[in-house]
Structure 1
Amino acid sequence: MAHRLLRSLRRTLLSPLSSHHETLIHHRQPSLSLRTRTYITEMRKSALEGNILRLLRNEIQYELDRSPPSQPLSKFDSFIVDERPGEQWIRLNKKFGENEEIKVEVTMFDGSVPVKKTGNVATEEDVKLHITLIVDIFKGEGSDVLEFVCSAWPDNIEIQRVFMRRRDQMVGLPYNAYMGPGFKELDDELQDSLYDFLEARGINDDLAVFLHGYMNNKDKTEFIRWMGTVKTFIEKK
């Protein structure tokens, strides 16, 4: 009798405790699981970011060791060069004669054409890089703008279009404005005279050679700058 009573009393006393203990474990397990998942996620994030940083550092160092960019020139001939750090274009400015102002906006490399080279053994395909120039010529305060759209190839300038626009108009005229004929439609002698017009103002083959060297350096500089800004962002906590 006493033995059965003791067992009954033990069940009465221990059952609530066991039930309460199981409830605590049940409620604690999701919390422990959440902390584990959070820890694993943070570890993966840290490993991923660490790998990206390692690759960026290696790539930056490789570019600096292989052929580090040089300090960009601030002048070419009589042009003042506005480097525009972090942007995809530069601007050249100069005065010409008594009242002319010349502004040249230049893109980074924005295209290429295939070039076939014949070697001693076989014919291999290469590319010739393209740069766009927009040449604006002003004559005095409030004058209209004579605008040339040109291509700069590695060793020559090629005129694509010539048109007039108001000084307060953005580059690229509205569709209802007459932009003139295609340059190749002009009389050959007139085409040659317009090339001479630009040549006298320093828009010539020497400028094309300079711009290709300048943009090659800028391309590398901007690439390294971009990798550096990405690295700095990822490093932030």
Structure 2
Amino acid sequence: MFRKVVVAAAGVFQPRRLPIWNKIASRTVSTSFYTVNSMILRSLKDHYLDVSKMTPPLKISPPSPYTVVKGALDSGGPILRSTFKNEEITISAMRLVDIIPEGSGLGNDEGDFNQLFVHVDISKEGMENSLHFLCGLYPDALGIHSVSLRKKSESAGFIDAPKDYSGPVFEEIDEKVRDALHSFIEERGINESLFPFLQAWLYVKDHRNLMRWFKTLGTFVKESDEAASQL
């Protein structure tokens, strides 16, 4: 009879003991979780405020006849658009420092911020190919790196590579042809006058993306806190 009582008592009290330890362990993990998250949120907030205080560049309009592509700040596509006779011209750009990996030894000097890669796409209605120029743009000069023909579907994004033969190395082309190609894009307003606008535009885009990143990451961490508190 006594044995039955002991067994019964063990059966009554043992299940009550486990949840207590579980609660203690859970409380310890939760405390650590909230501490880490609060540190992340505090750091994100500080950096967000610092970035928000950065002085934006003066508002610059693109040189005529180019206009800004609607929604360009929120996409990775063309920035500027123009027409020349029966041609449609679009321009995309990115900084050299955003292309060369840090520590590669190929750049990352202060002057690299004044070097832009510009992708110029010239298309004509009814033609399946477009003429694509990859150029280096500086405050006082513009140089052509390559010229190729691409399918129009390939020219929508400036990082796409042509699938077919892309032509000879530009520096190996006859000098007269190179000069003619420079005159060709110059006639369409593609020159160093684009630099001030594209430099300022890329700054605004980077600043906007950084602000969005801090805000999005902070929202995610905060929602993780709220979800954990309901467990």
Do Structure 1 and Structure 2 share a fold, with TM-score over 0.5? yes
Counterpart code for 1:131: L
Q: Structure 1: give runs of 5+ residues left out of the alignment.
A: 1-11, 116-124
Matched, 1:207 2:194: yes
Structure 2 CA distance for aligned equivalents of residues 89 and 143 of structure 1: 19
Q: CA separation in 2, counterparts of 1:23 and 1:132?
A: 75
1:119-169 Cα distance to aligned partner (Å, 9 max, x none): xxxxxx644134332211123333531111122345432211112234355
Aligned to 1:152: 137
1:231 matched to 2:218? The reply is: yes
Q: Within the alignment, does 1:167 sit opposite 2:152 as a pair?
A: yes
- 1:8 aligned partner: none
1:192 to 170, 179, 189: 179
In the alignment, the residues of structure 2 paired with residue 145 and residue 153 of structure 1 have an alpha-carbon distance, to the nearest angstrom, of 25
Q: Whole-Å Cα distance in 1 between the matches of residues 153 and 6 of structure 2? A: 85
Aligned length: 212
Identity rate, percent: 24
Q: Secondary structure at the match of 2:168?
A: coil
**CA–CA separation in structure 1 for the residues paired with 2:196 and 2:175:** 25
Q: 1:87 to 1:72 in 2, by over 3 A?
A: farther
Matches within 5 A, 1:117-132: 126-129=110-113, 130-132=115-117
Kindly provide the amino acid, as one letter, of the partner of residue 206 in structure 2.
D
* Structure 1 residues 180-227: Cα deviation after superposition (integer angstroms, max 9, x where no partner): 111111122322221221112111111123212221221122111111
Pairwise CA RMSD: 2.8
Q: Matched residues in 1 for 2:207 and 2:175: separation?
A: 39
CA distance in 1: counterparts of 2:58 and 2:5, whole angstroms: 78
Q: Quote the Cα distance in structure 1 between the aligned partners of 2:73 and 2:154.
A: 26
**TM-score of the two chains, using structure 2 as the length reference:** 0.77
CA distance in 1, matches of 2:137, 2:169: 18
Structure 2 SS opposite 1:46: helix
Contact 2:62–2:194 (CA under 8 A) maintained in structure 1? no
Aligned with residue 139 of structure 1, among 117, 124, 140: 124
Deviates more, 1:80-89 or 1:191-200: 80-89
Structure 2, unmatched stretches of 5+, are 101-105, 227-231
